[in-house]
Amino acid sequence: MQFKSIIVALATASNAVNALAIPEGTALEPRDDRVDGLPVATVRGNAKSPRPHFKRYKGVALSAALSARSPAPEPQNNGGDGGKGDDGKGKGGGGGNDCKAARDLAKGIQKNIKDQEGELKTANEIREIVGRNTVNEQEFKTAKEKLLGFVKAGITQREENQKKAPKGNAAIPGLEEVAKAQKQELEQAEGLKGNSQDLATLIKMKKEFEDGIKLNEQNKKDAVKGCKK
């Protein structure tokens, strides 16, 4: 009986030493070797204390640590300009071709802004015409055709911009918003009658054209994100 008490005491002391040696936070799976229902310090004849199994958790802990220290980088628009290297013309692995297309897109968006500025100016002219006591019908008709010309030109230019936009370009969502606005603006312009009832519509269109210009100014900036100026 005294011999068994000594063995129990030795096993308890060995487990205490192991607990101090294990790094804090390590997941453990204790192994308990028993003989006659008692923990022992002998394995296959060698003096050896039972040690917890934590080797299987090593890979998981390392993976978690690396994930915490190295967050995934955010995707870059256009992939940069590239440098002299692959072909000696600044169109190497950095994505220079994407940036060339992105700059062409920005130029196209600027053309669309010019159309929008024409829309805004003409809408203001029509508002002045229909706000008079007597409306000059020919003057209204000419101004309306001019407005429709700017709106339709803007739609054509926006469609070209969408076709030339590099895949994944940051301006694409904004161009889709421009398309929705242009559809409504065309319907409003076509619906002008040449009388005072147009005033409410023209005031609304003025705000829409101003907002459209702001949107395309942002689209122009988004188009060349990630490219050198």
pLDDT at 28 over 90: no
pLDDT at 112 over 80: yes
pLDDT category at 5 given cuts 50, 70, 90 is: low
Neighbours of 204 (CB within 10 A): 14
pLDDT tens per residue, range 119-138: 999 999 999 999 999 999 99
Higher-pLDDT residue of 97 and 155 is 155
pLDDT at 206 over 50: yes
| Tokens coding 56 | 């299987």
Q: Is the pTM of this model over 0.85?
A: no
pLDDT tens per residue, range 31-87: 555 545 555 444 444 445 555 554 444 444 444 444 444 444 444 567 655 544 333
User: 């008709």: which residue's tokens?
Assistant: 141
Nearest of 147, 151, 220, 156 to residue 182 by alpha carbon: 151
On the 0-12 / 13-18 / 19+ scale of CB atoms within 10 A, 140 is buried
pLDDT of residue 228: 83
